[in-house]
Amino acid sequence: MKDKTRRIIDKVNYPKFVIELTVFVFLATCFFGLKPKGFRLVNKAVILENPSRLAFQGIGMAYSRDDLSALDLKDSVAITLDVKSRGFHRKVGSIFSILADDNSPKLQLVQWHSMLVIHMLKENKSLKAGADNILIKDSVRTITLAGTRNFTSIYLNDSLCTTRKNLTLLDQEGKLSGKLLIGNSALGDNTFRGEIYRIRIDNHIQSKYPPKALYSFARVRKKVIHNEAGKEFPLILPELFKAKRLIFFNFSPLRFKYTISYISDIVINFFGFFPFGFCMYLLFSLLGVRPEWQLLLLATSASLGSSMMFEFVQAFLPTRSSQLIDVALNMIGGGCGAILGQMVASGGQKCRGQK
């Protein structure tokens, strides 16, 4: 068996093999590290007819260019949506968000499984209010968020579901302000899967007065959804999908989740750079780098540098996100691959030495 192994090693052009393997692994790492669903994503938010509605058939969004303060809503507000979900969202699906000037989310209305959740940041504190069994697959539900300066309530078909104090749709001046984003989050990573039949914005729930904004998606011209209540507050349907906010090397405390997607993400990020670190060790060894600790350091550093480059580019890709934890896992995986490369190289030298 040893003689057969030696004969195979003798036939291999070692330098050529290492270089070709390194090039192949590097290209494969680039492909899987940067692979989006297309670098120019067509916006999958489309207008359907009979009846008119805004449908999210993939990654898409609609947004307002103007600030909601133009609607002149003060002290109280009611936002009503007729929504149909296409199923449970195992990952959070953002129905709509209100964005600050820097495009950070002031408030989000999201679906998770059948639950409807309002989430907002107030003085760096995360506030949430939710109600279960709100969104049922293929069923149109009328959801109303009604808020004052002190609380926000969720209504389903005009019946109160829950109320949360200190969570308010209004700013400190008691006004509704910010830009409206529908169908996705500002980062573009929380796509809603479903249809919206109507959006209505009033001063009060069940108001007898005309609404401040009304969209039944019947008045759409050149990718512009016009406000049917009369005021100039249109929604825009862009041709291409582009995230409203970019975050580079996002860091959040590691909270382990016992879910298949979370565990698979950790495994992929670790083992994805394992072959890269392995090949980098063999390549640097071939180039005559010594001693061993420098080889391990260079291979691990190459994994770190490549991972940081990939994560930087991923911040610009709508279907990817730039995460610092991914960089750490890539670097550790590359370092472990380099250790395996050291073991293989040492074994190969012993075999050649016994020839």
pLDDT at 350 exceeding the cut of 60:
no
pLDDT at 317 exceeding the cut of 70:
yes
Average pLDDT over residues 18-47: 80
Q: What is the pLDDT of residues 175-187, one digit of tens each?
A: 999 999 999 988 8
Q: How confident is the model at residue 224 (pLDDT cuts 50, 70, 90)?
A: very high
Residue 47 or residue 321, greater confidence:
47
**Going from the N-terminus, what domains does the chain have, and what CATH number goes with each?**
2-37+249-353 (no CATH), 45-236 (2.60.120.200)
Which range, 58-62, 85-89, 341-345, is most confident? 58-62
Q: What is the pLDDT of residues 106-130, one digit of tens each?
A: 889 999 888 888 888 776 677 788 8
Q: Which of these, 345, 330, 342, 324, lies nearest to 300 by C-alpha position?
A: 330
pTM of structure: 0.76
Average pLDDT over residues 224-245: 88
pLDDT at 239 exceeding the cut of 80:
yes
Mean pLDDT of the residues in the chain: 84
The residues facing 135 across adjacent strands are none
Dist CA 85 CA 143 (whole Å): 12
pLDDT at 103 exceeding the cut of 60:
yes
